[in-house]
Amino acid sequence: MIKPYQLTIILPPHINEKEQGVFQKKLSSFILEKKGEIKKESSFELKEFAYPIRKEEKGIYLTFSFDFPSEEISDLHEFLRLSSLVLRYLLQQKEKKISPPIKKAGETTPPKTIQQKPKVKMKELDKKIDEILDEEII
């Protein structure tokens, strides 16, 4: 069953754009080879980490959004683990967004009616308070 995924990968800061491009092509071809479909691919600038990862203080972030067969996910994990360029990765299964039903032109929704409780009149309220106060307390 094909499901939507998002993959974020951190590469070391010392690789050049050519090496980064080669890695992106390898990963893209792996996804396509396993009958996946890449929706979006983006790379970010060099970012500093909050703490060192494999003795690196900075890294290059790559993000892929793609559809991939769930039966092949273990192969993708293995591909990423065995790659010497990947410092760390995060693979998340995305949820499909359910959109609200679309209204047809000219169609309106009926206004919501709020049932109100009957209002108590002040005279009735004063009368009830007087009755309670006039009662003898045992």
User: What is the distance, to the nearest Å, from the Cα of residue 55 to the centroid of all Cα atoms in its chain?
Assistant: 30
Mean pLDDT for the chain overall:
86
**Could you give the 3-state DSSP secondary structure of residue 77?**
helix
86 in Cβ contact with 11 (< 8 Å): yes
pTM of the complete model beyond 0.75: no
For the stretch 97-136, pLDDT in tens is 666 666 666 667 667 777 777 777 888 888 888 888 888 7
Give the model confidence (pLDDT) of 51-61 as tens digits.
999 899 999 99
Gap between the Cα atoms of 35 and 33, Å rounded: 5
Which residue would you say has higher pLDDT here, 33 or 44?
A: 33
Whether residue 138 has pLDDT greater than 60: no
Note the CATH number of domain 2-93: 3.30.70.60
Q: What is the pLDDT of residue 74?
A: 93
Percent of the chain past pLDDT 70, that is, above it, reads 87
Residue 54: helix, strand or coil by DSSP? Answer: coil
User: Could you state, in order of their start, the residue ranges of all structural domains in the chain?
Assistant: 2-93
Helix (H) or strand (E) holding 121: none
Strand, coil or helix: 25: helix
Confidence band for 90, pLDDT divided at 50, 70 and 90: very high
